[in-house]
Amino acid sequence: MAAQEIKVPDIGDFDAVEVIEVLVAEGDTVEKEQALITLESDKATLEVPSTVAGKITELKISEGDNVSEGDVIAMVEAEDDSGSDDADDDDGDDDQAEGSDNESAEESEASGDDTPDGDDDPEDKEDAGEEQAKADDAGDGETVEVKVPDIGDFDAVEVIEVLVAEGDTVEKEQALITLESDKATLEVPSSAAGTLTELKIAEGDNVSEGDVIAMVQTAGGGSGAAESKSGDKAEKDTSSKDKSDKKSPGGSAQADDAKATPDEGKKKQPDSGTASQDDKPAPRADAGKPSEGLDKSKIQSVDEDRFGKAHASPSVRKFARELGADLGKIEGSGRKGRITEEDVQSYVKGALEQVQSGKSKAGAAAPAGGGGGVPTQPDIDFSQFGEVEITELARIRKISAKAVHKNWLLIPHVTQFDTADITEMEAFRQANKEKAKADGVKLTPLAFLLKASAAALKAFPDLNSSLTADGASLVHKKYVNIAVAVDTPGGLLMPVIKDVDKKGIYEIARDLDDVSARARDGKIKGSDMQGACFSISSLGGVGGTAFTPIVNSPEVGILGVSKHTMQPVWNGSEFEPRLILPLSFSYDHRVIDGAKAARITGFISEKLSDLRTLLL
């Protein structure tokens, strides 16, 4: 049978979408629904799956091409093609052999069950084939345990997404799972290339360094095993056929006829082109149109513009249309925010529950939050007031939102506002800026803020502490690590500068520049965002006069810095221009009281106003 065309399916409201990645090559064997290419529009990235399982005989596109619905991606020879041809050959051989088998029937009956010793060869070959298969499995490849690598100080980190499935072929360094802590999200790559034979974890599990994620059959072992199994199957079929021939007159013809019947049933499916593949998901064949059994008011309420722009695969789009679900209102839980079939099911289930109970989500029981009930966000359809656009939050922002909300609920915040005269500090920085640049150091005011804050943590031990879980004791830390807020394209990250108290200004500036660059490039490690005793959030490069930064639990304080301005300051005899830096110090009122907070900001102000005091 000729190879089948794999075309670009319904991809929503997009036209002439760029192919940014081709995931397969000519000669590859693909599974049904396996992604072949990745498309990227200005608002979404989506993968186009194969509609059949088989071997790719020709690729019609390449990276950089633009495609639209209906364009041919590749030619695939379906898996059943070779099997069908074999079945045809067998049928032909059976027809030719039928006469000779019938002619030899009497001779076979007369000979009875007495057979030469050589007739046992098929069984011997079968056993030998199985032994060879095992030997091939052992010799051609090996099964490798893929474990959780060093992920820093994290322990029992939750698996929020499994990116592969058993049977998938993975490359070395390909991401297998996504882990999420309270401050970072990281992907765990495969340490070997091959076929994933077993997954040891599932979404929702907690893992630590050294835990086994999956078993991977390295290249060679998987194909050898497959060939061995195919050989075993063929030998078993031959063996059983031969034994049937010997046991009964006309046995070969009868046995082959019996086999031909189911084989022909299987064989006829691929003969109809893609019909064999379309038969399986028959209930969704008309999913692109409203089905007769659906409430058409639901279909008409779907926002087609938002539906077309939703980040979902063609099969999920069909499924959503079948159920009358508006993809534009569904939050995707898949990789890169992709909407999955389970997301559609959950959305529809929630909508039905609301209708049946006559209550909205806002009327549901409020979850517990730090000992008190916190009302949930009401689900409001803002489109009733005018045109809207839904934009999903970036993953980092989702994570930080949860952490910020938890910290705001758990910690009784108070913010102390103060100022620091940094006229001399800025003059010193400007005087040494070019010299530092020649040494490869970017000398910023934040380096001086880190040094002054480190001195405050040493001078006020309670500032460098954390409450125990029961809130009855303080854990005083003998190290000084300070986190710095870094604005990245994906959201706010808090990398940590270690041992600030033991470093000079130049070394602090180098560390700061290094972690900030890696954070913006998405190369920051989980260990780089752990172990902070205190945090600094600087908006000096943006603007503002004051704000209330939120304490990062289990820390007990955070320093907010706003934009410095030149202001007139009375020196006792006249006003003189001075460079003033606003400080906003938020703290946990369970650990630090107002008087101590005022002394802390005064201390930091003093150090910044006169850098010589940092030497004392």
Rounded CA separation 180/158 (Å): 6
Report how far Cα 513 is from the mean position of its chain's Cα atoms.
Answer: 28
Quote the strand ranges of 110-156, DSSP E.
143-147
Q: Which residue has the tokens 């799956």?
A: 49
At 561, list the tokens.
């810095």
DSSP string, 373-439: E-PPPP---GGGTS-----PPPHHHHHHHHHHHHHHHHS-EEEEEEEEE-HHHHHHHHHHHHHHHHT
Q: Which residue has the tokens 């380096």?
A: 447
Q: In the chain, count of helices (H) and strands (E)?
A: 15, 29
Which burial class, exposed, middle or buried, applies to 68 when counting CB atoms under 10 A from its CB (0-12, 13-18, 19+)? Answer: exposed
CB contact at 8 A, 175 and 213: no
User: One-letter amino acid identity for 592?
Assistant: I
Considering 405, 413, 476, 589, which one is annotated as catalytic? Answer: 589
Rounded CA separation 28/45 (Å): 23
- Checking 331-335 for CB contacts under 8 A at 24+ apart, the result is 331/392, 332/392, 333/161, 334/161, 335/161, 335/163, 335/178
Rounded CA separation 208/77 (Å): 43
Neighbours of 40 (CB within 10 A): 14
589 is catalytic: yes
Q: Is 604 helix (H, G, I), strand (E, B) or coil?
A: helix
At 567, list the tokens.
């202001």
Neighbouring residues of 133: CB distance < 8 A, sequence distance ≥ 6? 225, 228, 229, 231, 232
Phi, psi of 457, deg, nearest 5: -65, -30
Rounded CA separation 386/334 (Å): 30
Q: Which residue has the tokens 């807020």?
A: 485
Which burial class, exposed, middle or buried, applies to 202 when counting CB atoms under 10 A from its CB (0-12, 13-18, 19+)? Answer: exposed
| SS percent in the chain: helix, strand, coil, step 5 | 40, 25, 35
CB contact at 8 A, 523 and 555: no
**Residues known to be catalytic:** 589
